[in-house]
């Protein structure tokens, strides 16, 4: 294929692979599958390089990663997909390094996020954890900006309720 596409996708990989991996991992909570889906993301970016409009590469890559992850969940976990959430106990075996890095409050937050419906998880991860702007998040999710704002408000409220249900004090939220 195109040498320019190959070079550019390699640059993107070096720049964004960690952020994309963390995003995918937050969505599916499986280390090995997240690595595979990350590779699929960059393969798809290479294959679709000629459709890239040169405006927001990070957003474009996150959109690809999100779509690939949703397709994976649809195929592997159709019941979970239809219920718009993954079971809270699925894929709890984190890599040892990642598990040791998490503080207790991060673990509680991570667990509570896993219990939210996918749209809430998506918007919280993109806006609050990955710090995308409303415009960037709307582009990645394929939503209007107002939907991102409203869903984020509802998602934060749902996250607070989930944390309270789990007995966590959330003064910082």
124 and 61 part of one domain: no
Distance CA 72, CA 167 (A): 32
37 and 106 part of one domain: no
Indicate the pLDDT class of residue 91, thresholds 50, 70 and 90: very low
Q: What is the mean pLDDT of residues 42-48?
A: 95
User: Tens of pLDDT along 57-90?
Assistant: 999 999 999 999 988 887 775 444 433 433 343 4
Are the C-beta atoms of residues 70 and 62 closer than 8 Å to each other? no
Distance CA 133, CA 126 (A): 8
The reply to whether 168 falls in a domain is yes
pTM over 0.85: no
> For residue 61, how many other CB atoms are within 10 A of its CB?
25
Q: CA nearest 33: which of 72, 67, 65? A: 72
User: Tens of pLDDT along 128-148?
Assistant: 888 899 999 999 999 999 999
The reply to whether 96 falls in a domain is no
Residue 57, domain CATH: 1.10.1740.10
Instruction: State the chain's mean pLDDT as an integer.
Output: 81
Q: CA nearest 19: which of 73, 62, 64? A: 62
**Given this model, what pLDDT does residue 103 score?**
57
44 and 77 part of one domain: yes
Residue 93: pLDDT above 70? no
Indicate the pLDDT class of residue 104, thresholds 50, 70 and 90: low
């Amino acid at each position: 294929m195109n040498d320019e596409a190959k070079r550019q996708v390699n640059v993107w990989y070096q720049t964004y692979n960690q952020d994309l991996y963390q995003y995918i991992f937050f969505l599916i909570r499986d280390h090995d599958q997240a690595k595979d889906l990350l590779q699929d993301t960059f393969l798809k970016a290479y294959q679709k390089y000629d459709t890239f409009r040169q405006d927001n590469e990070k957003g474009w890559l996150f959109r690809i990663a999100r779509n690939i992850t949703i397709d994976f969940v649809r195929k592997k976990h159709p019941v979970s997909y239809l219920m718009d959430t993954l079971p809270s106990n699925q894929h709890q075996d984190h890599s040892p390094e990642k598990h040791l890095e998490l503080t207790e409050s991060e673990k509680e937050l991570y667990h509570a996020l896993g219990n939210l419906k996918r749209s809430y998880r998506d918007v919280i991860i993109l806006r609050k954890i990955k710090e995308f702007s409303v415009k960037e998040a709307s582009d990645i999710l394929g939503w209007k900006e107002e939907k991102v704002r409203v869903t984020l408000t509802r998602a934060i409220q749902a996250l607070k309720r989930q944390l309270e249900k789990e007995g966590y004090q959330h003064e910082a939220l």
